[in-house]
Amino acid sequence: MKRFIEFDVLRGFLLLMMVVNHSPSSLRRFTDRPLGFFTTAECFVFVSAFLAGMLFRKRADRLGFAAARSSSIRRAGRIYQAHLVTLGFAFILGRFFLSEFPGIRNLLDHYLVNPWAAIGGSLALLFRPPLMDILPMYILFSFLTPAAFWAAQRWGWKRVLLVSASTWFIAQTHVRDMLVNAFKDLPFIQLGPFDLFAWQLLWVGGLFIGQRFYENKALLPVPRLLGPLFLISAIAFLVWHWSSIASGPDPLARTWLLDKWHLGPLRLINFFVAASVIARLTKYLNRLESPLRPFMLIGRHMLPVFCSQICLSVLLIGRTESGLTVEPVTSALVLCQLFTAFLFAWFLEWRSAGKNLALAKPQMPANKQQTTEKRPREMASPSRRVREPLLQPS
């Protein structure tokens, strides 16, 4: 399927911003919620769901629903492998090299107390330490994708979206927190702060809009007259956010209306109106393909680059939060980490191009001269000319 450069570039930008947000660096003031009250996490989940919905619909139309479902499950398997590799790196690093540093103890406190329970819980996706709770969410959402499309075929997208919105509404009662508190004493459970009952709404919404994009339909079934209203709303949220930063903490920003982990309603509205405005601008990224190629490569090789950056973030946090480094050294280390993302993405692209070139290279006969010598005799024997193609491989 044709790749959409603008989405690769967007994912590349989002990954780099997320790396900075995961660091104890002062650079976070430029990347943490630059467009409103939402963060890169909402953008990351929605863009990934958008692409997943578009690709699932594409495969289902061409190869059938079973093939699209198998592809989604295989994708979940690859993410699961990446999840285990990332956790394995963090566990080994925290257990044998940085266990005395406060930064690592804050990240892996449950693991350091009971390592075998943490390992078993991580295999079952029940143990999700900070920074390493994103991949389990993607794994579960990858399994949700074929279920959502199956339900949409059976009952329609309106009912699927209604069920998703109802689940999000129930999540606002913090029912997930009550379940977590009930099992908080179990050493193999650490689910992280993300409430998947709420965040599934972003994923299902992304699937819906992605499959509409494949059908060349309007991304959102709303009148075009609402476009200016969305723009005004996005600007209003942006001004509100930056004014609250300048004047001090906004009391309303601390309420459930803008809560991150449960996707508060105002936060969700802020994200969707800003996304509707940004979506109109992404088409211009194609005109800047050459200067934006490094970001495109990061987005194209998202999973391995993301895992490598998580591992480096664990290493950086383990060192910097222990007081061994201060600004501007921490920011310099973060910039070096971002540079490794470009290098690793370039290496993966170079290796992928080499493999594609090897596969595209035509296979020559083992003995071309012998083949050309046999050709006159084959032409002289009509019976052999008829039978010989039956012996050739298809």
CA pair distance 168, 266, nearest whole angstrom: 13
pLDDT band at 364 (very low <50, low <70, confident <90, very high): low
Where is pLDDT greater, at 28 or 94? 28
pLDDT band at 166 (very low <50, low <70, confident <90, very high): very high
pLDDT band at 387 (very low <50, low <70, confident <90, very high): very low
Tell me if residue 364 falls in helix, strand or coil. coil
For residue 161, the one-letter residue type is L
What is the pTM for the complete model shown? 0.85
Instruction: Report in angstroms the alpha-carbon separations of 227 from 34, 221, 230, 267, 270.
Output: 21, 12, 5, 19, 14
In the structure encoding, which two tokens stand for residue 251, read together?
């009391």
On the question of pLDDT at 312 being above 50, the answer is: yes
CA dihedral sign of residues 112, 117, 119, 121: negative
On the question of pLDDT at 371 being above 80, the answer is: no
Residues 292 and 13: beta-carbon distance below 8 Å: no
On the question of pLDDT at 219 being above 50, the answer is: yes
Backbone angles phi and psi of 255, in degrees to 5: -85, 175
On the question of pLDDT at 218 being above 60, the answer is: yes
379: Cα separation from own chain's centroid: 59
Q: List CB contacts of 339: < 8 A, sequence separation 6 or more.
A: none
Q: What share of the chain is helix, strand, coil (3-state, %, to 5)?
A: 75, 0, 25
Q: What confidence score (pLDDT) does residue 315 get?
A: 86
Position of tokens 């963090």? Answer: 90
Q: What is the pLDDT of residues 220-239, one digit of tens each?
A: 656 666 678 888 888 999 88
Q: What is the pLDDT of residues 143-162, one digit of tens each?
A: 999 999 999 999 999 999 99
Residues 151 and 214: beta-carbon distance below 8 Å: no
Outline where 156-280 has alpha helix (H). Answer: 157-171, 175-182, 196-214, 226-247, 265-279
Q: List CB contacts of 52: < 8 A, sequence separation 6 or more.
A: 72, 75, 141, 142, 145, 206, 207, 210
CA dihedral sign of residues 338, 119, 190, 112: negative
CA pair distance 16, 342, nearest whole angstrom: 10
